[in-house]
Amino acid sequence: MLAIRALSLLLPAMVLASCAGPSPQSASTAGTSVATAPSLVQPGEVDGLYQGTSTRFQADRRNCPHPGLVTLTVQNGQFEFHWNGVTYVDASIAPDGTVQGSGPDVTLAGHLDGSTLEGDVRNDACGLHFTTRRQT
């Protein structure tokens, strides 16, 4: 009976110890760096034709844009996203691959990773996610 009681007191301590991460000392002596520097892109390097699709992730109104095929022409690190029949969103690609843009009451946020350009375009009631790949 005493062994069971000792085990019941020891078991929670063992579980807590197994959940703890490595000590700061052991992490620093591993000799490997977890963080890597972001790759920098130049505006001319990302220029080209990107094609893909969009999907809808928010539609609180009936007149939200429809998802479908997406074609983006990037020139000097900048492009326009066709939101609806009359609204275009001007966007640009930063050296770290971050993509940001805005249009009348619409914002665009995304990133460029290699040849994949993707992001979310939204207003207060509608949202599209797009994924495109650079065409060679």
Give the model's pLDDT for residue 16.
39
pLDDT at 23: 44
User: Which domains does the chain show, CATH number per domain?
Assistant: 43-130 (2.40.128)
Q: Is 114 exposed, middle or buried (0-12, 13-18, 19+ CB in 10 A)?
A: exposed
What pLDDT is stored for residue 136 in this prediction? 77
Return the pLDDT at 7: 40
Q: Mean pLDDT, 10 residues at a time, over the chain (136 residues)?
A: 42 42 43 50 83 98 96 97 95 97 97 97 98 94
- Write out 48-67 in H/E/C secondary structure: EEEEEEEEEEEECCCCCCCC
At residue 39, the pLDDT reads 60
pLDDT of residue 21: 44
| pLDDT confidence of residue 43 | 57
